[in-house]
Amino acid sequence: MKAAILDSRQLLAFVTVARRGSFTLAAKDLFLTQSAVSHAIKALEDELGHRLLDRVGKRVSITQAGEQLLVHAQRILGEMEAARAGLDHLANWGHGRLRVGASVTACQYLLPTVLREFRQSFPKCIIRIEPGDHGRQQELLREGQIDLAVMLKPDGDRELTFVPMFEDQLCFVASPLHPWAGLPQVPRAQVAQETLILYNKSSFTFRLLADYFREERVALSNYIELGAMEAIKELAKTGVGVGVIAPWVARAEIEAGSLVSIPLGSRPLVRQWGVCYLRGRRLALGEETFVGLCQEVAQQVQANNPVPRSA
């Protein structure tokens, strides 16, 4: 027959009475009535089938069975206190783990600054980054394999909480020698004829672009599909085609003059970046700090790269 689990409150009452030698003093220490302490000790004795304390008037002495239990009870309560202190330490200082999912773009352009700042406050936190596109991040969150995901805002996903970071716009990027370079807006007929350099066909960004051009009545039939923003920029520089990315990702190239940014059209294609986590989940201090740092870095990104105006 499986033994019943001992009640920690009864053990605490027993240890306190044994230490103080008095039900009255123990009750004061525990902020309980003397009757409540007596009932706790009686219930523990009934559970164990042994008398633990002898009561002679106002004096309390511990029995042999009580002495044996006291050694174990003190160790049990000590372990429980250590466990609570460890959890409090984890919540207060983040000395644990942080599992973050992020798109390749976020991993390359956002997370390095965030992680550098995070490390200063939580130097002992074990950090794991899971790169992957939009759908993969949602899947990892639902499976409990990551705690947070830096990603684009999911469409109508009620299982996730989304904390906004910043908005960007997708634009054409081209070599300064490209015929589009001096145009305030590209004629739609030319878009259909040009070779577009686009991000991964399985990505959320590709889906946004496909929907956008469908509404603009532009066929996406002539394009090169790549899995890295750096590759898109490099290919656009050569004049092989025109890339479609957010200008903040190509900030260095645009400032250097090796690429120019051109609006997609009079109607902008806006994306919203943020941090997602499972709805109803309470974030630990380290996770809250990480989210706050993401928002701070995002403000810097948006301040240095204002959303371009379409002509």
Q: In terms of domains, do 32 and 180 share one?
A: no
Q: In terms of domains, do 177 and 257 share one?
A: yes
Residue 213 has pLDDT above 50, yes or no: yes
pLDDT at 247: 92
Q: What is the CATH number of the domain that holds 61?
A: 1.10.10.10
Q: What is the CATH number of the domain that holds 243?
A: 3.40.190.10
Average pLDDT, the chain: 87
Written as one letter, the residue type at 210 is A
The β-bridge partners of 260 are 174
Residue 87 lies in a domain: yes
Q: In terms of domains, do 38 and 113 share one?
A: no
Q: In terms of domains, do 106 and 228 share one?
A: no
CA triple 108-296-254, angle to 5 deg? 50
Q: In terms of domains, do 154 and 295 share one?
A: yes
Could you give the CA distance from residue 131 to residue 107 in angstroms, rounded to a whole number? Answer: 7
* Residue that finishes a domain, picked among 92, 120, 146: 92
Q: Which of 193, 202, 246 is nearest to 226 (CA)?
A: 202
Residue 97 has pLDDT above 80, yes or no: yes
Residue 136 lies in a domain: yes
**180-184, 234-238, 251-255, 298-302: which has the minimum mean pLDDT?**
298-302
Residue 180 has pLDDT above 70, yes or no: yes
pLDDT at 301: 78
pLDDT at 184: 86
pLDDT at 309: 43
The secondary element (H helix, E strand) that includes residue 227 is none
**How large is the average pLDDT for residues 15-20?**
89
Residue 1 lies in a domain: no
Residue 70 lies in a domain: yes
From residue 247, give the alpha-carbon distance in Å to each of 83, 149, 167: 49, 22, 12
pLDDT at 91: 58
Q: In terms of domains, do 148 and 282 share one?
A: yes
Q: In terms of domains, do 86 and 108 share one?
A: no
Which CB contacts under 8 angstroms, 24+ apart, belong to 214-219?
216/188, 216/265, 216/267, 217/188, 218/188, 218/191, 218/192, 219/192
Q: In terms of domains, do 126 and 191 share one?
A: no
pLDDT at 238: 92
Residue 154 lies in a domain: yes
pLDDT at 86: 61
pLDDT at 88: 62
Q: In terms of domains, do 193 and 154 share one?
A: no
**How large is the average pLDDT for residues 300-306?**
69
Could you give the CA distance from residue 131 to residue 203 in angstroms, rounded to a whole number? Answer: 13
Residue 310 lies in a domain: no
Could you give the CA distance from residue 233 to residue 199 in angstroms, rounded to a whole number? Answer: 11
SS3 helix, strand, coil % of the chain, rounded to 5? 50, 20, 30
**How large is the average pLDDT for residues 189-218?**
91
Q: In terms of domains, do 179 and 244 share one?
A: yes
* Residue that finishes a domain, picked among 31, 62, 92: 92
| Overall number of domains in the chain | 3
Percent of the chain with pLDDT over 90: 45
Residue 310 has pLDDT above 70, yes or no: no
Q: CB neighbours (10 Å) of residue 25?
A: 16
* Residue that finishes a domain, picked among 92, 126, 151: 92
Put simply, whether the predicted model's pTM sits higher than 0.75 gets the answer no
Range of the structural domain that residue 23 is part of: 8-92
Residue 203 lies in a domain: yes
Residue 104 has pLDDT above 70, yes or no: yes
Q: In terms of domains, do 259 and 111 share one?
A: no
Residue 309 lies in a domain: no
Bigger pLDDT: 90 vs 63? 63
Could you give the CA distance from residue 284 to residue 278 in angstroms, rounded to a whole number? Answer: 13
Q: In terms of domains, do 201 and 251 share one?
A: yes
